[in-house]
Amino acid sequence: MSVNEIDEFITVLLILIGSIISVISALGIIRFPDVYTRSHAATKSSSLAVLLTLSGCFLYFWLTESYISIRLILGIIFVFITAPVSGHLSIRAAYRSKVKLSESTIEDELKEVFQAKE
């Protein structure tokens, strides 16, 4: 194998792993019982999937064409910063709106925090 083939294999592997994680995330959104666990699947694994896919694309262009894409770097940074924050804020809004937890939930750690503030 030449260096170019190894570079292409690594980038394709990153993109493939990102795609697989994206499918798993979609299944988690469908299968999980309440808004809190669904949001966890939507933010954590989806942001990882997008980061892997964009990283694979960035490496492909960098290693094969010697082109450094600022758009891909900004996309990676933007997803890395905004996805967890938006997930946290949507979950917090759902909790404050008193959206019920799943029946299989064992512990509500925020209950004490919000009761102390009231």
- pLDDT tens digits along 50-78: 999 999 999 999 998 889 999 999 999 99
Structure tokens at 70: 């600022």
Quick one: CA dihedral 34, 107, 84, 97, positive or negative? positive
Q: How far apart are CA 63 and CA 12, in angstroms?
A: 12
User: Whole-prediction pTM value?
Assistant: 0.81
Confidence check: pLDDT of 16 > 70: yes
In this prediction, residue 118 carries a pLDDT of 61
Write down the mean pLDDT value for the chain.
88
Helix (H), strand (E), coil (C) string for 55-77: HHHHHHHHHHHCCCCHHHHHHHH
Confidence check: pLDDT of 87 > 80: yes
